[in-house]
Amino acid sequence: MKNSSAIILAGGEGKRMKSNRPKVLSEVVFQPMIKWVIDAVRSAGIKDICVVTGSKREYVEEYLSALPFEVETVYQPERLGTGHAVMMAIPFLEKHRGSDVLILNGDAPFIGVETIRNAFVVQNQTGEIEPEVFDWEAPRKPSEKRGCTVISAEVENPAGYGRIVHETDEEHFFHLRTLKAIVEEKEATDEIRKIKEVNSGAYWFETDILLDALSKLEKSEKTGEYYLTDTIEIIKNSGNAVMSYKAKNADSVLGANDCIQLAQLNEIARTRILKKHMKNGVNIPCADGVIIGRDVTISANTTILPSTVIRGKTSIGSFCEIGPAALIESCEISDNHNISNVTLKNQIL
């Protein structure tokens, strides 16, 4: 993904969170949702990132300025839709002409590295889709450029999401299909509402083609907003192909609009992290009250007991027993330690 860039939309107010901070700073397993997104983007090999801020932007800017790498920001003074948000980043896009840009939401923490990379392969019709290799030729006229690849996901309950409508029912290798339209639920027919494949809100665009589409984007007569999804029709009408790539993991589309949904995201993330450690040989006989942060490393043959919270840049060696009722934060713990009913911060043992 050489020379590629990314724009992360982070202007949501998060009113239903009842928080005095922007929604993207709401935490999933001790880290803001936007940090999950940034980490996925950077792990996919994209280093040039622009975050579009909005309400209470100073909080987001302060957080980003403390990261150990540079993230550019632009400000959307009015909430006039996703298309308008991307328009605020036009100077950033101009600097990256001749490449591809990934656009995604800062409050969808489970967008994965594999999904980003696979969609990039679809966008460029080159390389290998991970983790398997496919020998395929995507449907494209010889004169066509691929203007956009929409990342979709299939969910059990698609209510509230824009539905993915394809040109034909024929599905190519690895869920690769030609996109006809993204239909918002309020505009969908009963038949279209039955579709379970939905828009994740993440897209790969050819930057020059996106800039041209943004220059033609018009306000919705109903809402007065500019929608990024409207660029799909503009791109198709200009003779450029638009594809969809269906992510294997339906969690790719998940976000949170209130604290109940945020708790659901935390439980999904907590379970994933615990399973990862157990697959690596960590014994967690009862997961009740066990929360482990993403940056924690634990060696095999260590046991984690209930009501234990481990977070920060913590490393734990082998043959340890941690818990019950332990809080460990940013510590280095060597082999053969038994720790319970204690709070430890910034300790080396």
Convert the pLDDT of each residue in 4-49 to its tens digit: 999 999 987 777 777 888 899 999 999 999 999 999 999 999 999 9
Domain annotation covers residue 261:
no
Identify the domain boundary among 210, 237, 253: 253
Mean pLDDT value of segment 282-290: 95
Identify the domain boundary among 235, 253, 271: 253
- Residues in CB range of 260: below 8 A, 6 or more apart: none
Does residue 84 have a pLDDT over 90? yes
Domain CATH number, residue 284: 2.160.10.10
Domain annotation covers residue 260:
no
Structure confidence at residue 139 as a pLDDT band (50, 70, 90) = very low
Same domain for 219 and 299, yes or no, is no
Residue-range definition of the domain harbouring residue 332:
280-345
Q: Specify the residue for token string 């300790």.
A: 347
Query: Distance between CA atoms of 23 and 36, rounded to whole angstroms?
Result: 13
Mean residue pLDDT across the chain: 87
Domain annotation covers residue 306:
yes
Residues in the chain, total: 349
Same domain for 204 and 302, yes or no, is no
Mean pLDDT value of segment 146-152: 88
Same domain for 231 and 297, yes or no, is no
Same domain for 21 and 98, yes or no, is yes
pTM of the model: 0.88
Same domain for 237 and 311, yes or no, is no
Domain annotation covers residue 166:
yes
Domain annotation covers residue 55:
yes
Same domain for 244 and 180, yes or no, is yes
Same domain for 57 and 104, yes or no, is yes
Same domain for 78 and 141, yes or no, is yes
Query: Distance between CA atoms of 70 and 67, rounded to whole angstroms?
Result: 7
Domain annotation covers residue 264:
no
Domain annotation covers residue 273:
no
Q: Specify the residue for token string 């969690």.
A: 251
Same domain for 249 and 286, yes or no, is no
Highest mean pLDDT among 116-120, 201-205, 218-222: 201-205
Query: Distance between CA atoms of 121 and 94, rounded to whole angstroms?
Result: 23
Domain annotation covers residue 158:
yes
Domain CATH number, residue 69: 3.90.550.10
Which tens digit of pLDDT belongs to each residue from 178-192?
A: 788 888 777 778 888
Same domain for 325 and 234, yes or no, is no
Same domain for 305 and 199, yes or no, is no
Structure confidence at residue 145 as a pLDDT band (50, 70, 90) = low
Instruction: Count structural domains, the chain.
Output: 2
Which tens digit of pLDDT belongs to each residue from 304-332?
A: 999 999 999 999 999 999 999 999 999 99
Query: Distance between CA atoms of 59 and 25, rounded to whole angstroms?
Result: 8
Helix ranges (H only) for the chain are: 33-43, 57-65, 82-87, 90-94, 113-124, 190-193, 207-216, 230-237, 259-279
Same domain for 93 and 22, yes or no, is yes
